[in-house]
Amino acid sequence: MALSAIDLYLILGLAVKIYALLTPPAVLSAFIHYTRGRSAREKFIISCKTSVAIFLLGETLLLFGSTIFGVFGFTLDAFRIGVGLLLFLSAIRLMNEDDDARPVKPDADISVVPLAIPLGMGPSAIGAVIVLGAASTGAVDLWIDSLCLFMASAGMAVLLCLADPVERLIGKTGIAVMSKLTALLLSAIAAQVIFTGIKAFLNTLQSGG
């Protein structure tokens, strides 16, 4: 059955929402900072690997997120606290690093950590993807959700491939400011995520008691 214009609009809207949850400014800022001095080919490879890692992680959580949590016996709130701490450490590292220095070793792979997770697939994106998977009523819903996740991941790859023109446009000072603002934003997000997880955990204990 052919998709109607309304269906296409809804799919595009969901893809945009997922893309926004991937925090593109944070990923772009970290990408520019961590890949300074690398060749165009290396940057392209990192862009593609980051996008693929985001999609594969998201697809795994979409299909098996609820099952994985049940098998290992931990809750989404515990996951929020753990990822929030990881996100907070990334914010501290980004804030304290010298923008003129090479932040990582030349051969270090940054595509999965920290770009794909926790910057791209952070707590908000992970929670949203798991909820989408749990709310799916059939194969068609899962196919549409997977398509939207793929579109959002591809959009991230395109954004990272445009990192050099963006860097030239806003300049070195702009990159430094964006990096520090991103660190502040990430620390605020991390704190909110941790507090949300702790609050929900305490509420669970009280209701259980």
Domain ranges within the chain, ordered by starting residue: 5-208
Amino acid at residue number 98: D
Burial of 37 (0-12, 13-18, 19+ CB in 10 A): exposed
Output phi, psi for 37, to 5 deg: 95, -10
Alpha carbon distance 156, 60 (integer Å): 18
Alpha carbon distance 117, 121 (integer Å): 5
For 79-129, the pLDDT digits (tens) are 778 777 877 877 787 677 665 544 456 667 899 988 998 889 987 788 788
Alpha carbon distance 177, 112 (integer Å): 24
Residue numbers of the chain with a pLDDT score lower than 70: 1-6, 94, 97-107, 179, 208-209
